[in-house]
Structure 1
Amino acid sequence: MASQPGLSRLFAQAARLKRAPRRGAHWAIRGYQLSLSMLVGRHCRHWPSCSSYTDEAIQRFGLWRGGWIGVARICRCTPLGTSGIDLVCEELPPDSAWYRPWRYGRWRGVNAPEQP
């Protein structure tokens, strides 16, 4: 029974390690929001902003999947692209896989809430 506390400590360390890429990406995005974004100006065609959207996607789906979702959103944020309310999807598309990362993102349209 002496190994139980050591085992739980090991699992806790593994969980912290697993969250490390997400935390690193979060702080990189936050640094951008507090520095470069303030200098350039906070103009985004969507709500939430592209950096907030990417941060939420990474926190929800992990660095690889969420990063690709964020890249797709940034590619849509152009003068000829979409605008308006665009929320992070609740679930990943069913045909997405780690070796086809372009399938994670929505490259056209927005994910707006239902209108009453």
Structure 2
Amino acid sequence: MTKILLLTITFYKYFISPLLGNNCIFSPTCSEYAQEAIITHGIIKGLWLTFRRIIKCQPFCIGGYDNVPTSIKNSKQPTKKI
């Protein structure tokens, strides 16, 4: 299941995302963040972190550097401006 999910994200990253343009306000991009979160924390926690990250992707958010937390306890760390 993890492999299929990661392949889906990779497909989006290389084939769909370029058609939408470079609009990401975060570093790493949401697709890179999703891949790292799923690899680091597993499917359930990784998808939860990815969902929270995508929700922040809106015009009222400053953006910046927002890495995957090493533990879920640290997941409320503030986003660093780049």
**TM bin (shorter chain):** 0.7 to 0.9
Q: Is there any run of 5+ residues in structure 2 with no aligned partner, and where?
A: none
| SS of match in other structure, 2:59 | coil
Give the match for residue 16 of structure 2. Answer: 36
Aligned length: 80
* Structure 1 residue 48 displacement after superposition: 0.2
- Ranges in structure 1 where 5+ consecutive residues have no aligned partner: 1-20, 95-104
CA contact under 8 A between 1:82 and 1:109: conserved in structure 2?
no
User: What is the 5 A alignment of 1:1-116?
Assistant: 21-93=1-73, 106=76, 109-110=78-79, 112=80
Greater relative contact order (CA < 8 Å, ≥ 6 in sequence): 2
Identical positions, percent: 29
The alpha-carbon deviation at position 56 of structure 1 amounts to: 0.4
Amino acid at match of 1:78: Q
- Scaled by the length of structure 2, what TM-score is found? 0.87
Structure 1 segments of 4 or more deviating over 3 A? none
Name the SS for the 2:73 alignment partner. coil
C-alpha separation in 2, matches of 1:82 and 1:59: 26
Aligned to 1:98: none
